[in-house]
A and B are shown apart, each in its own frame.
Chain A
Amino acid sequence: MHKYILKRILMLIPVIFGVSLLVFCIMNVASGDVTAVMGAEELDAQQLYELKESLGLNDPLLVRYVKYMWNLITKGDLGTGYISKEPVMSLFLNRFPNTLKLALGSTLVCVILSIPLGIYSAVHHGSIADNVAMVGALLGLSIPNFWLGLVLIVIFALRLGWLPSEGAVGFKSIILPAITIGTGFMASMTRVTRSSMLDVIRSDYLRTARAKGAPERQVIYKHALKNALIPIITSIGETFATALGGAVVTEAVFSWPGVGRLIIDSIRSRDTMVVVGCIIMKTIVISVILLIVDILYAFVDPRIKSHYARARKAKIDE
């Protein structure tokens, strides 16, 4: 079991390094001369050199990358924003809770909408309701989420005035953005729920339970759901990780003060350090979460569990 975990963690490391190298190089090569933005035209050659030296810009790209990663790993330091003059890590940590809140809210919305729908569809498989649910889920996938966000703003914030259209103050402000993101993942989660419920419903041990005379409701909720839960939980985990990463556009629509909006603002002001730092951090966070989901899945899925248990037992018997 631990071998599995270790293996997965080890595989994660080159991925993170690869991503950070890629993003670092692309952004720094493309961003042009940063010193110019700091009013460097006034400086003569010597002062310019010193300025660049202080920013570490005189080293070749790869050396800068290594120093950058070293700072990140040993000191948790992502450098200082060229424009904003604040340490990137603190900017990120400042905004990250907001993105986290939004991701949690969206996942919640998705779960509340998808799972009952998926269960209902599975139980009433083939009926009209099932078809409607499937098309509805598909609709959620097809609607561009920034458009949905704007439509919701028009209806609930501008016309009816029930909910705020921007900002992150108070409980009310998270509702519209969470719905905007959550409905996008509905299709996938509903489908996973439905198919895993279907698999379980048709399976043998349920037939046994029914044969034993257990009431249908108990059959579904106690037996079917428990076993169907595994892929559903994985889906929830993946949804959460994706919501964490992909909320960028929704954050822009709702002016939500999260990491996504920070990235967009920094791209506009050409603050490369902030963009690179945030993207790398976001990637690390998402990868770690997906890793945890995978590991939990491995613990929970009886097939994998038994594979390792058997292996252990075999070792003991030797």
Chain B
Amino acid sequence: MSKNKKEVQDINRKATGEKAKGRSQGAEVWYRMRKNKGAMVGLVVVVLLILLAVFSDVIFDYSKQIAGINTKARLLPPSWEHPFGTDGKGRDLFVRVLYGTKYSLTIGVVATLISTLIAVPIGALAGYYGGFFENVVMRIMDMLSAVPFILMGIVVVSALGANMMNLIIALGIVGIPKICRMTRAAVLTVKNQEYIESARIIGLKERDIIIKHVLPNCLSPIIVSITLQVATVIISASSLSFLGLGVPAPSPEWGALLSAGRDELRQHANLTLFPGLAIMITVLALNLMGDGLRDAMDPKLRK
């Protein structure tokens, strides 16, 4: 008499007249995200930016368009030829802004990856085993997050030297506490559920329990965290570049472009406005996507 899941669903479907919706969990999330217009816009923008970042070097000629100077064409206002105008060294700002996507996305993604790879296992273990280990880990996280984010970034970068690699490392380290705390909290919620208890009774190894049962159910808050973290890292990276502690010249990283444009703020505000707009659009897209993911994955919001 045991009917499988699909049969039961079919029966229900016939009863209520719904169309067949035999979705897996992933497809369910995707379906719900699709209905969220804001999240979809965010997703599209992010995908476009990734493509831009990946193919930058193919589309643009670095030495001529990015690094080359042409002082005869200094500080031209926006026109058809130069949609964003030219900077103090005659370089086309539009091209530089587009090329700059590469830096921000790379730094954002890799730094967050580093944070995640370190924070998630530590946070999961801390949440699961608790006790002294958890205490120590949480104190260390408190320590790392006691120093304001940007100050810690400044300390690490000025110690290691300002280049892209060190920037990624610095932001990767500084981003650990948030993800670690989030993971631990999620694990704490899941660990006391019945199905974990059952798994234990059945005799599964602790390691298997954590990897196969606990973590997958914590995935949603972690994924949301990660998406939002990338956005935070991008803003922090551009802040550090703005202060001169980020990606070195002549790289057209957005924060660096903003910093360079400051000298000409009175009559050539375009130099500051457009790179900032680029940062804003990227971060907004990521935030919308992250928010959309959170709403889509949150079972409480099932309509």
Given A144-B239, A150-B258, decide whether A287 and B146 contact each other with a Cβ distance below 8 A. yes
Q: Mark B206-223, 1 if CB is under 8 A from A, else 0.
A: 000000000000000000
Given A11-B139, A151-B273, decide whether A246 and B150 contact each other with a Cβ distance below 8 A. yes
A158 in contact (CB, < 8 A): yes
A40 in contact (CB, < 8 A): no
Partner of B151, one of A18, A30, A143, A263: A263
Establish whether residues A147 and B148, one from each chain, have CB atoms under 8 Å apart when the complex forms.
no
Bound-complex Cα distance A279 to B156 (A): 13
Given A23-B147, A27-B159, A249-B242, decide whether A142 and B139 contact each other with a Cβ distance below 8 A. no
Establish whether residues B143 and A19, one from each chain, have CB atoms under 8 Å apart when the complex forms.
yes
Establish whether residues A23 and B272, one from each chain, have CB atoms under 8 Å apart when the complex forms.
no
A252 in contact (CB, < 8 A): yes
Q: Which residues of B sit under 8 angstroms from A279, Cβ to Cβ?
A: 147, 151, 155
Bound-complex Cα distance A246 to B275 (A): 22
Bound-complex Cα distance A279 to B143 (A): 13
Q: Which residues of A sit under 8 angstroms from B160, Cβ to Cβ?
A: 30
Partner of A267, one of B150, B158, B255, B269: B158
Q: Which residues of A sit under 8 angstroms from B273, Cβ to Cβ?
A: 151, 154
B129 in contact (CB, < 8 A): no
Chain B interface mostly? helix
Q: Mark B252-296, 1 if CB is under 8 A from A, else 0.
A: 000100100010011001001101100110011001100100000
Number of residue pairs A-B, CB distance < 8 angstroms: 122
Establish whether residues A286 and B280, one from each chain, have CB atoms under 8 Å apart when the complex forms.
no
Chain A interface mostly? helix
CB distance from B246 to the nearest CB of A (A): 12
A 286-305 contacts with B by CB, 8 A: 286-287
Nearest residue, chain A, Cβ from B276? A147
Q: Mark B131-146, 1 if CB is under 8 A from A, else 0.
A: 0000000011011001
Q: Mark B144-178, 1 if CB is under 8 A from A, else 0.
A: 00111111001110111000000000000000000
Establish whether residues B151 and A144, one from each chain, have CB atoms under 8 Å apart when the complex forms.
no
A309 in contact (CB, < 8 A): no
Establish whether residues B280 and A144, one from each chain, have CB atoms under 8 Å apart when the complex forms.
yes
A139 in contact (CB, < 8 A): yes
Nearest residue, chain B, Cβ from A276? B155
CB distance from B233 to the nearest CB of A (A): 12
Query: Which of B148, B159, B238 has its CB near the most chain A CB atoms (within 10 A)?
Result: B148
A 130-162 contacts with B by CB, 8 A: 135, 138-139, 141-144, 146-148, 150-151, 153-154, 158
Given A154-B265, A248-B148, A282-B148, decide whether A147 and B272 contact each other with a Cβ distance below 8 A. yes
Q: Which residues of A sit under 8 angstroms from B283, Cβ to Cβ?
A: 141-144
Establish whether residues B140 and A18, one from each chain, have CB atoms under 8 Å apart when the complex forms.
yes
Partner of A264, one of B147, B243, B276: B243
Chain B interface residue count, CB cutoff 8 Å, equals: 42
B97 in contact (CB, < 8 A): no
Establish whether residues A142 and B242, one from each chain, have CB atoms under 8 Å apart when the complex forms.
no
Partner of B265, one of A26, A144, A158: A158
Given A248-B150, A286-B146, A286-B148, decide whether A146 and B140 contact each other with a Cβ distance below 8 A. no
Establish whether residues B272 and A150, one from each chain, have CB atoms under 8 Å apart when the complex forms.
yes
Partner of A142, one of B149, B269, B280: B280
Establish whether residues B272 and A144, one from each chain, have CB atoms under 8 Å apart when the complex forms.
no
Partner of A26, one of B159, B266, B291: B159
Establish whether residues B243 and A252, one from each chain, have CB atoms under 8 Å apart when the complex forms.
yes
CB distance from B274 to the nearest CB of A (A): 10
Q: Which residues of A sit under 8 angstroms from B265, Cβ to Cβ?
A: 150, 153-154, 158
Q: Which residues of A sit under 8 angstroms from B139, Cβ to Cβ?
A: 11, 14-15, 18
Partner of B242, one of A18, A146, A151, A153: A146
Given A144-B235, A146-B258, decide whether A29 and B284 contact each other with a Cβ distance below 8 A. no
B230 in contact (CB, < 8 A): no
A283 in contact (CB, < 8 A): yes
Nearest residue, chain A, Cβ from B277? A147
Bound-complex Cα distance A139 to B272 (A): 18
CB distance from A233 to the nearest CB of B (A): 21
Query: Which of B143, B272, B284 has its CB near the most chain A CB atoms (within 10 A)?
Result: B143
CB distance from A52 to the nearest CB of B (A): 21
B119 in contact (CB, < 8 A): no
A91 in contact (CB, < 8 A): no
B124 in contact (CB, < 8 A): no
Nearest residue, chain A, Cβ from B37? A131
Give 20 pairs: A residue, B residue, CB < 8 Å, sorted on A: A18-B139, A18-B143, A26-B159, A135-B38, A142-B231, A142-B284, A143-B280, A144-B238, A144-B258, A146-B258, A147-B275, A154-B269, A154-B273, A245-B151, A248-B151, A248-B243, A252-B243, A267-B245, A279-B151, A286-B148
- Given pairs A15-B142, A23-B147, A142-B231, 13 additional interface contacts (CB within 8 A): A11-B142, A14-B139, A14-B143, A142-B280, A142-B287, A144-B235, A144-B279, A147-B275, A148-B276, A150-B276, A242-B148, A248-B148, A286-B146
